[in-house]
Amino acid sequence: MSLSTPMHAQCEVKNTALRAGETINYDLYFNWKFVWVKCGTAYMKTTATTWQSKPAFRTYLITKGSKKADMFFRMRDTLVSVVSTNLCPHYYYKGSFEGKRLYKDEAYYTYHNGDVYIRLRKQRKGVFTSAQKKSTNCVYDMLSILAQARSYDPRNYKTGQRINFDMVGGTDIDHEILIYRGKKNIKAENDTVYRCLVFSYVEHKNGKDKEVVTFYVTDDENHLPIRLDMFLNFGSAKAFLSNVSGNRHPFTSIVGK
């Protein structure tokens, strides 16, 4: 008789970074005619919740463009993720108001006999589309992969190392790649300099890597995102940490103020 590990257990990691009450604020900048202009703010908060009567974490990420930026391009994003206390994804929602269009994505994860089943739903131009997907691999979304990655041990990472993972996108499952770029000192909006681990989120198409987002995360037990460089279809944007509270560990990565 052989025993197999349940899929949800395979997709869990020991949580070493996240805790309820952590609140992070960012200032957003957009490159407008070769000048970086402040265009809004982002707010991320993690709270304690329950999912199917079991303890869980709920993380909100809300981005909002400024009134000045609204004159050129209106942007409002709300992301919600629910994960187990061991960071296994249960639910994901993204509501994105860009220009005059509202986009919505939802994902519900269930686990059975070594497989993950995902119920997906999206709205585009007022039309709803749904799909059921099954995978033998762990599948994540934008927030749950960030939550898990913060608890990974990076000490054995080598510069250029590629990390493959599957992530929901609309009604599909996409194969994505993170590349570890090494370490770099980064100054945040709070005038603090942090030693950071650098990761690039890339799309691999037609034999080439296309940079999507570069993450700078503190080289300490928090692995907190300090800066994000985003390469968008309509330009480049950056998010800089302005303040943080409720972090689980001291920031031992601070190298200057």
Considering its fold, how many domains does the chain have in total? 1
> How large is the average pLDDT for residues 166-186?
93
Residue 4's pLDDT band (boundaries 50, 70, 90)? very low
Asked if residue 72 belongs to a domain, the reply is yes
The reported pLDDT for the residue numbered 74 is: 58
List the CATH number of the domain containing 241: 2.40.360
Classify residue 193 by its DSSP letter.
E
Which range of 5-9, 147-151, 199-203 scores highest in mean pLDDT? It is 147-151
Determine the Cα–Cα distance for residues 21 and 55; give it in Å rounded to an integer. 15
Instruction: Give residue for tokens 């329950």.
Output: 50
Which range of 1-10, 176-185, 206-215 scores highest in mean pLDDT? It is 176-185
Query: Is 227's pLDDT higher than 50?
Result: yes
Query: Is 34's pLDDT higher than 80?
Result: no
Asked if residue 2 belongs to a domain, the reply is no
Asked if residue 14 belongs to a domain, the reply is yes
CA angle (95, 99, 102) in 5-degree steps = 30
Q: With pLDDT > 70 as the criterion, what percentage of the chain qualifies?
A: 89
Structural domain boundaries, residue 152: 7-256
Asked if residue 151 belongs to a domain, the reply is yes
Residue 70's pLDDT band (boundaries 50, 70, 90)? low
Determine the Cα–Cα distance for residues 97 and 194; give it in Å rounded to an integer. 33
Poorest-confidence range of 15-29, 95-109, 165-179?
95-109
- Amino acid type, 207: G
The reported pLDDT for the residue numbered 186 is: 96
Which residues contact residue 45 at a Cβ distance below 8 angstroms, ignoring those fewer than 6 apart?
A: 22, 23, 24, 59, 60
Query: Is 201's pLDDT higher than 60?
Result: yes
**Among 223, 63, 75, which residue's Cα sits nearest to residue 155?**
223
Poorest-confidence range of 91-100, 109-118, 134-143?
91-100
Instruction: Give residue for tokens 């809300």.
Output: 62
Asked if residue 45 belongs to a domain, the reply is yes
Could you write out the DSSP letters of every residue in 11-64?
Answer: T----SS--TT-EEEEEEEEEETTEEEEEEEEEEEEEEEEETTEEEEEEEEEEE
Rg (CA), the chain: 18
**Greater confidence, 17 or 64?**
17
Mean pLDDT of the chain: 89
**Greater confidence, 248 or 64?**
248
Asked if residue 89 belongs to a domain, the reply is yes
The reported pLDDT for the residue numbered 105 is: 94
Asked if residue 1 belongs to a domain, the reply is no
Q: With pLDDT > 90 as the criterion, what percentage of the chain qualifies?
A: 67
Query: Is 3's pLDDT higher than 50?
Result: no
Task: Decide: 14 and 86 in contact? Cβ < 8 Å.
Answer: yes
